[in-house]
């Protein structure tokens, strides 16, 4: 197994567990979530932080959660793969496509309450073959629900390229079998995603049913931090790095006479919205708090 | 027994459950019921009899045969503040939807640091005794009770079914409500006499974690649940003074009632329709050994041996515990 050794011990670092970074997938998050409101629901899979940021999740408390602190969004019990921020309608499940049924449920709730809320379920292209996704497409279509399924196609299901495990190549064609609108944005362009998502979210919000939207993104980094990517050619890694949607957007903006200074100012605004490690709360105590063994149930009491 | 003796209105267990669901649905427009064949068919096991007529197909919803999709939809609707009941037609079908049950429904409250609640009821038909074979006859009580984050309820009478169902619907956390097919009072699957009981018209709750002494006795404690409450009561007529405890809920588990009984009798027989190993019988005995070892003189357990439920009638009858098996174990505690 030479060469498969991770770059570091993922059980020993400051961030516990296998962290999945989302660099290269920003367009899918921003392009879609820009159309959403706080009360719209988003469910996300294990590679989720770009989506969480785009949906408006509390960054300080998310950071604290990533570090496993009790000040985190989930009191350190959920971790970076299971982020919940109900103030902005964000929930995540690490199990492939199992966020789709809950998104369908949020859409069903909106329909029952006659509200114009929309639900968005994000999955990766590696999950196109999972039952929960296919069941959810049918359920959403037959009940005409306000939900958008967003497939982030980064070409890789850990080590397996899409064309080796999934047919058809264009995942949005899954929609055809469910009498649903399907669409695919085939390049890493946040503006193109924004336009396609505008159609899809608008369709849902207007009560005209669900959409399946596949968005081509790319995986700039490894599957999880420390993954040596022995399965992936250097050429592929280099090609992916050339597809940065942030650079593409910068080019587009320059074409509109936005100067480097303004672009730098925009870039600086991002990091400042999160206060960083010092503000995320104290490091974990050696002895976990009493809350470790509680709250499998709600803190509220049953209705009488 | 907890049932008031003077009740002249008797009901089947399914009738009592349906009455509760209707009462709660009238009071709360945010309640709805999802399942396969629950609308026009009234539920295969009469679990929704007449409800579609009153509430319509929007609130008594037939769903695609997609347990993952609709149970997951119920999880999220509950998180949004609605009060869904999702019916898994046979508990044996949990395999195709278990992720939504144990990774989402049961864990979201804990994983989110209690920032979400999942106030839903998952109902499912359990049990054998009618030759439906290995994939339609299991109890699986222990499977659900083993996994943290969900309450697990098993009624054995109409009276209990009503109080437990009110409590299940009003609970702010996920409740798995397992009803035994043989107890429902279905025309094509006749129930024994026991589950049809008097049921008050007014609403009442039975708190979870309150086991019920269905028969008081001084010599041997028999702890059981579901159908086997009735088989244990039948066995108790064999001459030994048996105390029969109906657990009614596994999660939470009423340890105190069992301990108190064992302090009196010193003899414990645990009876379960689930598999023998790593299940309810082992857990009950373990709790009593941990906290009441000094009171225990003798222990027996009666359960399904560790094989799938066979189809043939004599074969199934052989492995599902009956009153004779319970009588034998009661006698064994005295030998």
Tell me the residue range of the domain where B324 lies: 212-332
Minimal CA separation from A9 to chain B, in Å:
24
Q: Is B66 exposed, middle or buried, given 0-12, 13-18 or 19+ CB atoms closer than 10 A?
A: buried
- The CATH number for B235's domain is 3.40.50.920
Residues 26-65 of B with CB under 8 A from A: 32, 58, 63-64
Rounded to whole angstroms, the Cα distance separating B106 from B323 reads: 35
Mean pLDDT of the B253-263 span? 98
Q: Which residues of B touch A93 (CB under 8 A)?
A: 103-104
Catalytic residue among B136, B166, B228, B230: B136
Cβ–Cβ gap A91/B116 under 8 Å: yes
Rounded to whole angstroms, the Cα distance separating B172 from A297 reads: 8
Residue B265 falls inside a structural domain: yes
Question: What ipTM does the predicted assembly reach?
Answer: 0.86
CA atoms within 13 A on the CB side of B281: 22
Q: Which residues of B touch A115 (CB under 8 A)?
A: none
Residue B3 falls inside a structural domain: no
The set of residues, in sequence order, having a beta carbon less than 8 Å from that of B254 and lying 6+ positions away, is: B209, B210, B211, B247, B248
Minimal CA separation from A27 to chain B, in Å:
27
Q: How many Cβ atoms sit within 10 Å of the Cβ of residue B5?
A: 6
pLDDT of residue A272: 67
Rounded to whole angstroms, the Cα distance separating A268 from B75 reads: 39
- Please tell me whether residues B131 and B185 are part of one structural domain: yes
Searching chain A, which residue's CA lies closest to the CA of residue B149? Answer: A296
Residues 164-183 of B with CB under 8 A from A: 167, 170-173
- Please tell me whether residues B182 and B241 are part of one structural domain: no
Q: How many domains does chain B have?
A: 2
Quick check: B276 pLDDT over 50? yes
Rounded to whole angstroms, the Cα distance separating B321 from A167 reads: 50
Residue B232 falls inside a structural domain: yes
Strand partners, B86: B34, B122
Q: Which residues of B touch A98 (CB under 8 A)?
A: 68, 72, 99-100, 103-104
B208 touches chain A (CB under 8 A): no
- Please tell me whether residues B142 and B226 are part of one structural domain: no
pLDDT of residue A8: 66
Among A102, A119, A146, the strongest candidate for a mutation testing the B interface, having the largest count of B CBs within 10 A, is A102
> Does residue A5 have a cis peptide bond before it, meaning omega lies within 30 degrees of 0?
no
Minimal CA separation from B172 to chain A, in Å:
5
- Please tell me whether residues B306 and B218 are part of one structural domain: yes
pLDDT of residue B179: 98
Q: Is B136 a catalytic residue?
A: yes
Among B34, B102, B106, B113, the strongest candidate for a mutation testing the A interface, having the largest count of A CBs within 10 A, is B113
pLDDT of residue A2: 47
Mean pLDDT of the B226-255 span? 96
Mean pLDDT of the B319-326 span? 97
Rounded to whole angstroms, the Cα distance separating A137 from A172 reads: 11
Query: CA-CA distances (angstroms) from residue B94 to A159, B44, B89, B118, B119?
Result: 31, 17, 9, 18, 19
Point out the domain boundary residue: B146, B163, B198. Answer: B198
Question: Domains in chain A and their CATH numbers?
Answer: 26-289 (3.40.50.970)
Minimal CA separation from A295 to chain B, in Å:
6
Cβ–Cβ gap B69/A304 under 8 Å: no
The CA dihedral of B229, B235, B236, B237, to the nearest 10 degrees, is 130
- Please tell me whether residues B132 and B236 are part of one structural domain: no
Residue pairs spanning A and B at CB distance below 8 A? 151
Point out the domain boundary residue: B156, B175, B198. Answer: B198
Cβ–Cβ gap A139/B66 under 8 Å: yes
- The CATH number for B160's domain is 3.40.50.970
Q: Which of B122, B118, B107, B106 is nearest to B172 (CA)?
A: B118
Query: pLDDT tens for residues B290-308?
Result: 999 999 999 999 999 999 9
Residue B2 falls inside a structural domain: no
- Please tell me whether residues B96 and B218 are part of one structural domain: no
Q: Is B335 exposed, middle or buried, given 0-12, 13-18 or 19+ CB atoms closer than 10 A?
A: exposed
Point out the domain boundary residue: B168, B198, B228. Answer: B198
Residue B63 falls inside a structural domain: yes
Rounded to whole angstroms, the Cα distance separating B311 from A28 reads: 52
pLDDT of residue A304: 35
Q: What is the mean pLDDT of each run of 10 residues along chain A (304 residues)?
A: 59 79 94 97 95 96 91 91 94 92 98 97 96 97 98 94 92 97 96 98 98 96 84 90 90 93 87 60 58 70 41
Strand partners, A124: A152
Residue B207 falls inside a structural domain: no
Residue B150 falls inside a structural domain: yes
- Please tell me whether residues B191 and B216 are part of one structural domain: no
- Please tell me whether residues B217 and B181 are part of one structural domain: no
Mean pLDDT of the B238-251 span? 96
Of B68, B108, B167, the CB nearest to A101: B68
Query: CA-CA distances (angstroms) from residue B315 to B82, B322, B323?
Result: 45, 13, 16
- Please tell me whether residues B241 and B185 are part of one structural domain: no
Strands B83-90 and B220-224: unpaired
pLDDT of residue A269: 82
Cβ proximity of A87 and A38 under 8 Å: yes
Q: How many Cβ atoms sit within 10 Å of the Cβ of residue B62?
A: 15
Minimal CA separation from A196 to chain B, in Å:
26
Rounded to whole angstroms, the Cα distance separating B4 from B1 reads: 8
Rounded to whole angstroms, the Cα distance separating A104 from A110 reads: 10
Residue B203 falls inside a structural domain: no
pLDDT of residue A96: 87
Q: Which residues of A touch B165 (CB under 8 A)?
A: none
- Please tell me whether residues B121 and B233 are part of one structural domain: no
Mean pLDDT of the B217-237 span? 97
- Please tell me whether residues B164 and B288 are part of one structural domain: no
pLDDT of residue A289: 63
- Please tell me whether residues B140 and B171 are part of one structural domain: yes
| The pair of three-digit structure tokens given for residue A149, joined into one six-digit string | 């399924």
Q: How many Cβ atoms sit within 10 Å of the Cβ of residue B299?
A: 18
Give ∠ CA A214-A27-A270 in degrees, rounded to 5.
Answer: 155
């Amino acid at each position: 197994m030479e060469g498969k050794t991770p770059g570091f011990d993922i059980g020993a670092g400051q961030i516990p567990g296998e962290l999945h970074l989302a660099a290269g997938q920003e367009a899918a998050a921003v392009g879609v979530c820009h159309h959403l409101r706080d009360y719209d629901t988003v469910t996300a899979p294990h590679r989720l932080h770009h989506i969480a940021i785009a949906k408006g999740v509390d960054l300080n408390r998310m950071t604290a959660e990533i570090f496993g602190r009790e000040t985190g969004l989930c009191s350190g019990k959920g971790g970076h793969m299971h982020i919940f921020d109900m103030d902005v309608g964000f929930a995540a499940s690490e199990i492939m496509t199992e966020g789709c049924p809950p998104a369908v449920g949020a859409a069903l709730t909106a329909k029952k309450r006659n509200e114009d809320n929309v639900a968005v379920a994000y999955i990766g292209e590696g999950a196109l073959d999972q039952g929960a996704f296919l069941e959810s497409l049918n359920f959403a279509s037959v009940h005409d629900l306000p939900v958008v399924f967003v497939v982030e196609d980064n070409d890789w299901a850990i080590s397996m390229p899409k064309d080796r495990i999934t047919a058809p190549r264009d995942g949005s064609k899954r929609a055809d079998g469910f009498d649903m609108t399907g669409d695919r944005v085939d390049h890493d362009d946040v503006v193109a995603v924004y336009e396609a998502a505008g159609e899809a979210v608008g369709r849902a919000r207007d009560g005209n049913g669900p959409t399946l939207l596949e968005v081509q993104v790319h995986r700039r980094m490894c599957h999880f931090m420390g993954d040596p990517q022995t399965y992936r050619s250097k050429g592929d890694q280099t090609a992916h790095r050339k597809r940065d949607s942030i650079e593409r957007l910068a080019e587009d903006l320059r074409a509109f006479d936005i100067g480097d200074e303004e672009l730098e100012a925009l870039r600086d605004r991002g990091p400042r919205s999160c206060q960083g490690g010092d503000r995320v709360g104290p490091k974990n105590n050696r002895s976990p708090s009493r809350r470790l063994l509680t709250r499998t149930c709600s803190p509220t009491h049953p209705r009488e | 027994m907890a049932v008031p003796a003077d009740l002249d209105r008797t009901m089947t267990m399914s009738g009592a459950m349906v009455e509760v669901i209707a009462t709660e649905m009238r009071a709360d427009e945010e309640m709805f019921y999802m399942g396969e064949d629950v609308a026009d068919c009234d539920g295969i096991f009469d679990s929704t009899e007449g409800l579609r007529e009153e509430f319509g197909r929007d609130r008594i919803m037939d769903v695609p045969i997609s347990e993952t999709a609709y149970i997951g939809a119920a999880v999220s609707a509950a998180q949004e503040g609605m009060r869904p009941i999702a019916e898994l037609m046979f508990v044996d079908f949990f395999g195709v939807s278990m992720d939504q049950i144990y990774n989402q429904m049961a864990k979201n409250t804990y994983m989110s640091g209690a920032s979400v609640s999942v106030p839903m009821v998952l109902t499912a038909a359990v049990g054998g005794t009618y030759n439906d074979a290995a994939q339609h006859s299991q109890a699986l009580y222990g499977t659900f009770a083993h996994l943290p984050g969900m309450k697990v309820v098993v009624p054995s009478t109409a009276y209990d079914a009503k109080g437990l169902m009110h409590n299940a619907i009003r609970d702010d956390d996920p409740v798995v409500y397992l009803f035994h097919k043989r107890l429902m009072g279905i025309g094509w699957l006749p129930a024994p006499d026991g589950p049809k009981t008097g049921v008050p018209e007014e609403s009442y709750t039975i708190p979870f974690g309150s086991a019920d002494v269905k028969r008081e006795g001084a010599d041997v404690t028999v702890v059981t649940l579901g159908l086997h409450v009735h088989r244990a009561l039948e066995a108790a007529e064999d001459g030994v003074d048996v105390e029969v405890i109906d657990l009614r809920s596994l999660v939470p588990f009423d340890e105190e009632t069992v301990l108190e009984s064992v302090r009196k009798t010193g003899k414990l027989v645990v009876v379960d329709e689930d598999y023998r190993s790593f299940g309810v019988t082992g857990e009950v005995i373990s709790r009593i050994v941990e906290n009441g070892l000094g009171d225990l003189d003798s222990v027996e357990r009666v359960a399904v041996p560790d094989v799938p439920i066979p189809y043939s009638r004599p074969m199934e009858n052989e492995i599902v515990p009956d009153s004779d098996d319970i009588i034998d174990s009661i006698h064994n505690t005295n030998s």
